[in-house]
């Protein structure tokens, strides 16, 4: 595993973004882990997060894009003051090659909402989707949500790290002064993927 991936996994744990225990997801699934990108709160954390995304985007997609697009989940209403309209930042225009950035994709629902918004901006080409964590679980069918998105929309998908990377990096190893994935959590993860793992 590349060293930046290992660093990123430890960074998620240290930032309280990736937690292990008992969680009920929006999908209703009971999960032994939860990722909350809202826990990145300091400028230093956000700068580091950007660097990890940049490395993974470069590794997976090169530099063949013009615009980074991050969907907003909270507050989708159109702004009528300051930077007006439905999108913040630079406008997407005809001919732009767009890279979509998300935190995590469980079902692909956010892309269903995002795709038409991007396409409505003009004749653009979506070069790919990058997420920070691939949960590696079934989306709506038997494939992972990322694979379903790739099949449905026709653009490639990638992640900074996968849950397999996380398990390999953290199982029975100390991170931030404690073992985060012990035998009990590992058994819960195995059971979860037995039920919800992507084929």
- Where in the sequence numbering do the catalytic residues fall? 79, 81
Residue 80 CB contacts under 8 Å (≥ 6 apart), including other chains: none
DSSP per-residue codes, 128-178: EEEEEEE--BB-SSSSBHHHHHHHHH---EEEEEEHHHHHHHHBTSEETTE
Are the C-beta atoms of 101 and 53 separated by less than 8 Å?
A: yes
Are the C-beta atoms of 99 and 68 separated by less than 8 Å?
A: yes
Are the C-beta atoms of 92 and 84 separated by less than 8 Å?
A: no
**Tokens for 162?**
């996968």
Q: If we measure between CA atoms, which residue out of 62, 71, 92, 87 comes closest to residue 158?
A: 62
How far apart (Å, rounded) are the C-alpha atoms in residues 149 and 156? 8
């Amino acid at each position: 595993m590349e060293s930046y991936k290992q660093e990123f996994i430890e960074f998620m744990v240290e930032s309280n973004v990736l937690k292990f225990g008992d969680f009920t997801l929006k999908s209703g699934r009971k999960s032994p882990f939860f990722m909350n990108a809202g826990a990145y709160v300091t400028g230093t954390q956000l700068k580091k997060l950007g660097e990890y995304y940049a490395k993974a985007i470069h590794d997976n997609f090169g530099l063949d894009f013009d615009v980074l697009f991050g969907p907003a989940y909270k507050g989708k209403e159109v702004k009528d003051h300051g930077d007006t309209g439905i999108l913040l930042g630079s406008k997407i225009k005809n001919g732009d090659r767009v890279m979509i950035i998300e935190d995590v994709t469980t079902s692909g629902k956010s892309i269903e909402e995002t795709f038409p918004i991007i396409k409505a901006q003009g004749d653009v080409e979506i070069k790919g989707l990058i997420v920070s964590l691939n949960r590696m679980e079934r989306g709506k069918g038997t494939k992972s949500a990322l694979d379903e998105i790739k099949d449905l929309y026709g653009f490639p998908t990638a992640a900074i790290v996968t849950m397999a990377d996380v398990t390999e990096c953290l199982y029975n190893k100390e991170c931030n002064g404690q073992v985060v994935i012990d035998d009990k959590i590992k058994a819960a993860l195995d059971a979860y993927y037995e039920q919800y793992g992507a084929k």
